[in-house]
Amino acid sequence: MKKVINHPDHVVEEMIQGIVTAQNESLKRLPKTNVITRSDAPIQGKVGLVSGGGSGHEPAHAGYVGKGMLDAAVVGEVFTSPTPDQVLEAIKAVDSGAGVLLIIKNYTGDVMNFEMAAEMAEMEGIQVEKVVVNDDVAVEDSTFTTGRRGIAGTIFVHKISGALAEQGASLKEVKRIADKTIENVRSMGVALSSCTVPAAGKPSFSLAENEMEIGIGIHGEAGIERIPMQEADKIVNILMEKILQDIDYVKSDAAVLINGLGATPEMELYLVSRQVQQLLQDKEIETYKTWVGEYMTSLEMAGFSITLLKLDEELKQGLKAASQTLAFPVSYDK
């Protein structure tokens, strides 16, 4: 597998350097860490939001650091949770006295390390709350998780909780809105090809030319089943059937996120979006807004995920609020 790298062992370090130098007006790196923060952090009186995870999912997570979303992202090695010490440094860097919320995707390593960091921060007198995102409806347990995995629906949690934190809400209120978002968001993905971790130098798994894997995880974890390759509309129908079975979206508004996993052309993602909109219309579900692009990838995996967020007026306000981030800029606040 050809990759544009210098050395497998230096990929994450050099990527962080590249992100910070490219975005030096809005982002900064804590010295001797893999922590990227807002350039203006900590912000007096504001609840700090921290998330993170393994590299290889770009633009997650540093792409969501900025006004209206995260205050810091902790960058782990490829598909590997950041260490508790690194997470602790992020917590300390963004705490202004109002407390810190950790937004954790439901993977065993992430949950364990972020929880350890929270305990260490509390020992230093910092108030910390945690939420765990588990939006993937594909599988209940996997080799990486107990319960459902956290995938691209995490972006909506960053956005909505970040909006409330930016408005000066308390830690209790920011955690409440994050939990509410998690309760109402569901996702599911499909893979058409594998990905290659730089240090491994070979695909993480294999799919035949005429195969696809339904319910794949963002680290290449097994999904529900492998089936023959289908037309775009049929793939969407399979994913949407399971998502729509999990929450009653009928006669409600929904936000939609069509997320490429790293190697799917925008042309194809818009075909997916087209069919999603048709299915929602058929079921009398109003589409509030749709985002199409790459938001949480899996290196160069071909495939996509679909995320639906069931909305009420409070969650809509969080999506409307302005944000200034590399991967999720929102310029209006109506």
Q: Which two tokens stand for residue 217?
A: 């995880």
d(C-alpha 205, C-alpha 191), whole Å: 11
Task: Please spell the DSSP secondary structure of 58-104, one letter per residue.
Answer: TTTTGGGBSBTSBSEEEEEEET-PPPHHHHHHHHHHH-SSS-EEEEE
- Using the predicted structure, report yes or no on whether residue 145 has a pLDDT greater than 90: no
- CATH class of the domain whose range is 185-320: alpha beta
- Using the predicted structure, report yes or no on whether residue 67 has a pLDDT greater than 90: yes
Q: How many helices (H) and strands (E) does the chain have?
A: 8, 12
pLDDT classification of 332: cutoffs 50, 70, 90: low
- Order of strands, edge to edge, in the sheet holding 185-191? 225-228, 211-214, 185-191, 303-311, 253-260, 286-293
Is residue 258 helix, strand or coil? strand
Active-site amino acid positions:
57, 219
Residue with tokens 């609020």: 321
Q: Distances in Å between the alpha carbon of 234 and those of 230, 240, 259, 276, 279? A: 6, 10, 17, 11, 11
Q: Which two tokens stand for residue 166?
A: 């930016």
Contact criterion met (CB below 8 Å) for 326 and 23: yes
Beta bridge partners of 74: 35, 52
pLDDT tens, residue by residue, 4-56: 999 999 999 999 999 999 999 999 999 999 999 999 999 999 999 999 999 99
Q: Does domain 8-183 have CATH number 1.10.3660.10?
A: no
Residue with tokens 């994450």: 12
Domain ranges across the chain: 8-183, 185-320
pLDDT tens, residue by residue, 252-275: 999 999 999 999 999 999 999 999
**Stretch 137-158: mean pLDDT:** 87
- Using the predicted structure, report yes or no on whether residue 333 has a pLDDT greater than 60: no
pLDDT tens, residue by residue, 211-258: 999 999 999 888 999 999 999 999 999 999 999 999 999 889 999 999
Give the relative orientation of helices 108-123 and 84-94 as an angle to the nearest 10 degrees. 50
Give the relative orientation of helices 313-320 and 154-166 as an angle to the nearest 10 degrees. 80
d(C-alpha 156, C-alpha 70), whole Å: 12
Q: Which two tokens stand for residue 2?
A: 């050809």
Mean pLDDT (the chain) is 96
**pLDDT score, position 140:** 79
